[in-house]
Each structure stands twice: as C-alpha cells, then as structure tokens.
Structure 1
Amino acid sequence: MDASYPPRYSTLAGALPNDATLGDITAAINNSEAMQNTSTPLNPPSYSSVYRNASRRRQPMSPRQDQNVASGSSGPQVHEYHIKTGSKSNPWATLQVFSKCSADSGSSGQKVPCFTSSDSVQGALQLTLDSPQNINSISLSRVNRHRYQLRGRIITSSYEDGSSTFLDHPVISWSRSNGDPRCVSPSIEDNVSSRAKKFDGKLSGQYSWPFCFPFPKSLPAQGHEGGLPVPQSFFERGVQASVQYDLVLRMTHGLLRSDSKMQVNIAYVPDIAPGPSSILRNYAYSERSPLPGPEIDPEGWLALPTTVIRGRLFSDRMIKLRSSQSFTRGTIIPCHLSVECTDEQALDLLANPKSLAVRLLRRVEYCDDGTKNSISSSRGVGNADVNKLQTHTSEVERAVWLPTRSTNSSPVRQFNGEIHLNKELQPSCLSPLFKVSYYVELLPFECSVFKPSSSTFDDSSIPFRKEGASRALLSRQVTIATLHGEGPRPVPFTKPKHRKERKTTSRDFSSSIVPVALFQCM
C-alpha cells in the first residue's frame, strides 16, 4: 500500500446465515480479504442459508518481543461488544473484532484487541432485529485520538474534551440513500446513492457484514515521502498524555429516538526489529557463554568517545579518570566500561561496581496545543512554536555489573554489565505527534568521597542538562524494539535490580527541543 495515500479498505462481501459459526465468519473475512486483490466485482449481500467457504489460509503471526501484549492462541481471539435496548433484553447489535493477541487496557484494565503494523483489523457487524426498527444510517469508523490531559490546562473550543483526532477513516457506511441493505453492501468504496432507489422501510431480521482492512502504519503528509508514522497506543500513570485507538459504531434512528453508539478500544503496537548481531556475539548467545569484549569482537560493540572525569578525592587530591563505554541492543543491553587512572588509590576506590552508574533514560514528547503544530514542526515550516512541546523524562533502569578479573598493578579496570529491559517497556516511537525515545547514559561516579568538578560537564551537546535530570557524561540514543532480531536471543548473565533498588526519577517540564538522529545499536 502506498503510504502517501489514505488507506483503502475491502468491499464487504455479504451477509452471514443465522446459524453461522466462528469458522464461517473467519472464512468470510479471509474470502473478503482475498477478493480485494482481484478485479472481479463483488456481489451484494446474500441472505441465503448457504455460505461460500474461502480457501485462503491465514498468514502466521510473526514472533513478538513486546511482552506488554498477551500472546494469543493458534486461532483468532474473538472480542464481542453488544448494544441492548434494556438490561434484561437480548442484544440487537453485536460488533465482533478478531485479533491474534490481546493487550491490557490502561484505563479499564480489561483485555482489548491488539494489532501490529502487519495485521489487518477483522470483524463483523451483526444485527438481530426481532421487531422492525427505524435505522437511517450505519457507520463504523476507526478513530485514533491523541489525548493531551495536561494539569492546569484550559480546554478551548477547538479541542473536544482535551483531545485532538488525527486519524479517522470509515469502515462501514450505509444510509437510506444507498438503497435496500439486503441488495447493497454498506461499503465505503461503493458510491451507489446516485443509482440506487432510496430505502423507505424499516429493518427487520438478521443482518451481518464482515469487514477487513489493513491497520495503517503511516499518515499521508505533505513534504514527507512515505508519510508520517502513527504513534503506538500509550497509557501510563504519571505521563499526562495518552494515545488511544477506537472503533466507533454509530446508528441513527430519527428525530424521536437518540442515536445508538458504541466505542471499542483497540491497541496498536508497531513492528520494530533490531539489527543483526555480530557473528561472534551470536555464537556466544547460542553457546550461552559470556560475550566477547570489544578487543575480540569490535564489530559487536559501538565505542563511545572517551570522557575525562575531574574531581577531588578526600577534598585535597586532584584526579583524572578516563572511561570508555560500548553497548549493544537486545532483551538486555550489554555494556562494557573501562576505567583508567594513574592514581592507584583513587582507582581502587572508584573503579568498583557500586560506584559505576550507567542508566537507561526515557523521554516522552508531545504537543499541548494539538497535532497541527507537531506536524508543522517536523517539516520545519509553518508558525509552530517548538517551546510548546511538553517533555516527560524518567530513569527506567540502571546497569548491573559483573565482577571482573584484573590485576591491582594495572592502571585500567574493565567491567561488563547489562541493562535489563522490562517486559512492559514501551517501544521507541519517532512519530512527530507523539515521541518516545531512550538514551543510555554514563553518570559520574557515585561515591561519598568523590565530587566531580564543574569542568567535567562542559560538553553542551548532551541533552537534559538544564531540565532538572542528573547530569550525564555520555549519552547515546538507542531503540527499544518489539520483535526479536535474527539469530539466537540474548542471554543475560545478571539479575535485574530489585524494584526498591532502582533509582527511578521522573519530571515534567516544557522546553525547546533539539532534534537528535535515531541510533540503532547492533
């Protein structure tokens, strides 16, 4: 699908029989999905007792790393949502949504359908009308809302309930001008109102329409080849913004009866895969052996520039320490750190696992005055005020260091460590509408007898300097992926820090944003 144009959806194939099973519905959806790639015109809905079986098989689900999503069974998971006239009456409208897996809803805690970049949204709308009903129109839309719930913010008339809709595509659309629903399919692609006779009766009996459309992973935007990536579903306590996707069903009945509405929350997780590891690293993972260091496997590590740490030890001795860091991306982020100092006493005091501080920092960015400014800022045009970007930073995790073997006479100490990535960690997102970025940072030594001097922090290129976060000596952006890469999976050799031992911090503030290029570790 060309991302520069709006998504195209399949034409609905027709109605299901009254005694249709889940297998019949799945076959109908597969048949509808397969027919959209052919030029054969589709027939209007059929209400006979015989339903054609489709021979197209479902594509297998790709492996996933994002453990925030519950793994699904071999078949599709069925989520049903109903509309009833009264609390004791049977549902007269049922919306079925099929997904390969489910996710936890941040607001209600219930399981919701979850889709990835490669998935199609499949389902069926069923009406069971025991008595004739006056229905003027039926519409099912996929609505993506980026909500800005900012403390102390005054909501203007431009934003309904403090939210801004940036994606709204119809899936099913029918009105009386389209004609008899038993003769035409409620498709968004069929413009039959000009040639069909207006339907003046009431709806009665069984109606069922399957639908299938690919989840759009990008939005068309002028000046952006391939479009802008849509943000992932996001809801976390402590972050005053969220991203929510909904399936919205609305049926109008006339002046004397209020509309029937249903809003179904769905989750979206982008497909992100890390790059391949080096040959020596894959071999170490397959053998479950310690990783070769940078001197043996230079292709498996990314070397950061050497930094100099100046400070006072015992308030009377000047020292100079050199440290270099290399790391890679995986289910754990392996780190290698070398500390060099000609002062043997200072080296013994500072070069130990308790004094080393390497952290994973997360930065969430969103705009507090709608998506228009966010898109304009990404293009570098328009009158967008970058200072209106809101930023939330939090320390996610710290590295755990392994004991090392080194001679006391050597002026260099080397350490191997790992940053454990939580199973529920949000993936990286570079959408200009809602950004989630991660940084691996080297902090000064954490020792009561050592105080770094102000000249240690002269490098102004490192972010978060004036934003209240702890000062970092080195900072490198990394990507948190959702899929496993090629080769064996990383094998941890340490245990993650206990939750009470994690020095997590968070902070909200407004600031101007300096764009940082994406970096993907090997």
Structure 2
Amino acid sequence: MLPVYTPSSPTSPTSQQAASRSEHVVSLQGNKGHEWLSLFVNSRAATSASLPLLFQGDSVTGRVELDLLKEETIKAIVISVLAGTTAVGQEESRFLQIDNQLWPPSTPNTKGPSSQKIKGRHSWSFTMGLPTTVPVTEPNGRHGQYPLPPTFSERASPVYIDYRVKVVVRRGMFKVDQPLTLSFGYLPVAYPEAPSTLRRMAYNEGSLLIGPEGDPEGWKVCETVKEKGTLFAVRAVEVKCSLCYAIGTPIPIEITLRSSDKQALDLLATPEALRVHLVRSMTTGSDAMDDDAPRRSNSHFLESVGDAYFWIQLESKLEGNLDGAPQEGGERGRLLRGEIEVQKTLKPSFKFPRFTMRYMIQMLPLKAPGFTLATSSDKAHPG
C-alpha cells in the first residue's frame, strides 16, 4: 500500500563520499587489554556511535589493523561481507557471502615468499561492492535473482535479516581461528512515482488537492463498501463508503459517505467515526511469496504502523453535490479528507524467499455512539 517505487540510478561518486561519513571500529583484546586486531568500517551513519549504515549501490570499505607484540604463525587473514535471514528457533539461511583474502603468505608483509610468521603493526584496506541482486534458491527448488532486502531487526520479530562484516585470522594447526564481526544496516534505495500534474500544481500553489473525479491519475479509487446497521436501536440504515487515496508520501485520503438517512450521515460522517490505518503485513515460510496461499497465524503477521487523520471537506464546489444536499435517489453525500503520515523508520516493501513484507491501507467498520453494525466490512486495499 505504500506507493509504487522504482529502482534508483547507479551510485555516483557523491554517494560514495556520503558512504564514508562515519568510521566504526571493533577490536579484539589480548593480555592486559592490548588491542591486537581491529576492524574499521566506513558508513553513512550520522555518528560513529550509531549502527553502520549503507545504501544500495554502496561499497563496503574500511581497513583491518593487526598489532602483534610477538611473532606468531598466521595462515591467512580474510575479510567477508555476509548476510542472511534467520527465523526464530532456526539456523540462518545465508544469501550473501563475499570473501577477500587480505594477507596470504606471499604478501610483502612477511619475512619471505613462503613465511607464515608475522609480528608488529600491519594495516590492510579493503573495498567490496554490494550487488543489487543475489541468486537465491526458492523453497520449491527453483533458482531466482532477487534484490537485496533491507536489514530487519525488531524486538519480538519472527524473522531477522542481518548484514555484517567479518574478519577472520586463521592460525596454524591445532589453534583456534579468531573472528571479529561488525553488523551494519543495509537499505535499498528507491523513489516513488512522480505525483500527477494536477497534484504537483496544488502542492506548488498551496491549494486544495483536486479529488479523483477531476484528477483520476493522482488517486487510487477503491470499491464502494456498504455499511448496514441500526441507528439508536430503532431504525435500520445503510451508508455507502468510497475510499480513495493518493499515490505519494504522506498518503492523502478521501472518503465519501452517502446515505438517504440524514441523521445517520450526521452521526457517521465525522472524523471520529472513521478508522483507517496503514498496516504492515509480514509473511514467513515457504509460501511467503505466494499471494494466493492461505495465511496462517503462525506465519502471517499484521501490525498497524500509521493512523489516518480526517477533516470534513466543505468545499462542495470542487466535488459537486457533496455538501449534504439530497441527490438523485434521495441520497445525501458527505466528503471527508485526511492523510496518513508514513514514518521515516519504516522499511520498504520487498519480496524475498521465506520472508515478504507488504503494506496496505485498512478501513475498519464505521463506529459511533448509537450505531450498531449489522455486517462486518473490514477492507484492506493493497497499493
């Protein structure tokens, strides 16, 4: 239900400079607190105290520093970029692994072409480009290419997506390898479709948005829902609700209510009676990418991530006879407009084997004192 997004253009030198705004470091300590192995990673994060952040098209850059107080046997030093999905209670399913050997025995830092002995301070820089897509084996056994999904790690989430940089110091036989890992956030870059010409004009002029009748390209019109119920336990009423929302962020929304019962319209055509939410849908498991598969409570999770706020639209001249005056068939109409603010922290929609995230706009039944609903009509409208 978030607007349709298109991929970004290839990374420019300016964006690569932004990816080096902060430097993050983790270290391994030996005896007496001596830091003998350090991993430095550059990122777009505002400060070095934040989680490292990289965007689509960025390269993972940094350096590895080794400071050995005495001569040791080191077989190799390998830097890797790793990523995978982990369902709660299961092992990680890795979808990305890029390895780069920083120190093979033949490097100039050793005493000779075949020596594995090393001592003192040494530093190796690295650059590893992140691909835009990765090959993944689907649960049905087929192979496909999928865009890298965003990092996802929320408390009590059923699935996590983790990206990390890992350096491993491989020692001689019968000695334990020494790994050092730093997690980072990854965010795909995409842009919403441009608003319609009439919407752009309204934004530039600071005027009211033209509705779907006058600007059909700028709105998504959903099917009309009939709300039937009883008013004050004595009179049966019917109200028709038509939901429209614009393609953009924040999401402008327009709702038209029609009824031949003026009292019901006065009661229900209010911001307090409308309940419209932005809902995040997360699906896990082998059917995550199948839109037609039945949804089970242990693999399909819904969460409200935004509420719509409405005001009564009184400019009837823009929308015809929607100021409450009777229309053909004795129906009256009321127009309400509002918007849903999309939080900046929300992850973009994505489809990936075993984990899919979507957004939808959900309209719950009308609710007001004195009105008893006869039929349920929850509607979720995908974008």
TM range (shorter): 0.7 to 0.9
The amino acid of 2:381's aligned partner reads R
**How far apart, in 1, do the equivalents of 2:14 and 2:144 lie?**
26
Pick closer, same or farther for the CA change 1:385–1:444 going to 2, 3 Å.
Answer: closer
Matched residue, 1:445: 366
Number of matched pairs: 357
Q: Which has the higher strand share?
A: 2
What TM-score, normalized by structure 2, do the two folds share?
0.83
Structure 1 unmatched runs, 5+: 1-56, 63-71, 105-109, 150-154, 156-161, 185-196, 368-372, 458-471, 479-522
**Deviation, structure 1 residue 423:** 2.6
Structure 1 match to 2:217 = 299
1:403 is matched with which residue? 312
- Checking the alignment, whether the CA contact within 8 Å between 1:118 and 1:215 is kept in structure 2 is yes
- 1:385, CA displacement in angstroms? 11
Q: 300-309 or 420-429, which moves further after superposition?
A: 420-429
Q: What's the CA shift for 1:129?
A: 3.1
Q: 2:295 & 2:278 partners in 1: Cα distance?
A: 25
Structure 1 residues 81 and 431, CA gap change in structure 2 (3 angstroms): same
Residues 276, 112 of structure 1: alpha-carbon distance in 2 compared, 3 angstrom cutoff: same
Q: Within 5 Å, which residues of 2 pair with 1:65-464?
A: 76-89=21-34, 91-101=35-45, 111-149=50-88, 162-173=90-101, 178-182=104-108, 199-221=114-136, 227-255=145-173, 257-367=175-285, 373=286, 390-405=299-314, 407-410=323-326, 411-454=332-375, 457=377
Cα deviations by residue, 1:159-198 (Å, 9 ceiling, x for unpaired): xxx33232242332267xx5422289xxxxxxxxxxxx97
- CA deviation profile, 1:37-88 (whole Å, cap 9, x unmatched): xxxxxxxxxxxxxxxxxxxx971239xxxxxxxxx97953111222221353
CA distance in 2, matches of 1:220, 1:96: 28
State percent identity of aligned pairs: 25
User: CA separation in 1, counterparts of 2:32 and 2:291?
Assistant: 51
Superposed displacement of residue 231, structure 1: 2.1
Contact 1:429 1:436 in 2 (8 A): yes
Query: Aligned letter for 1:220?
Result: P
Q: Which ranges in structure 2 are unaligned for 5 or more consecutive residues?
A: 1-10, 317-322, 327-331
CA distance in 2, matches of 1:289, 1:225: 50
1:36 corresponds to: none
State the Cα distance separating 1:414 from its structure 2 match: 0.3
Change (3 A) 1:237 1:139: same
Aligned partners of 1:125 and 1:293: how far apart in 2? 58
Determine the C-alpha separation between the residues in 2 that align with 1:365 and 1:103.
33
Residue type of the alignment partner of 2:123: S
Normalised by the size of structure 1, how large is the TM-score? 0.62
CA contact (8 A) 1:218 1:226 kept: no
Letter in 1 for 2:382: Q
Q: Which segment is superposed worse, 342-351 or 239-248?
A: 239-248
- The alignment's C-alpha RMSD in Å is 3.2
Distance 1:226 1:273, change over 3 A: farther
Q: Distance in 1 between matches of 2:146 and 2:214?
A: 41
- 1:236/1:259 CA distance change after superposition, 3 Å: same
TM-aligned CA deviation for residue 221 of structure 1 = 3.9
How far, CA to CA, are the matches of 1:209 and 1:115 in structure 2? Answer: 21
Asked if the contact 2:21/2:46 (under 8 Å) is kept, the reply is no
* Contact kept in structure 1, 2:195 and 2:248, CA below 8 Å: no
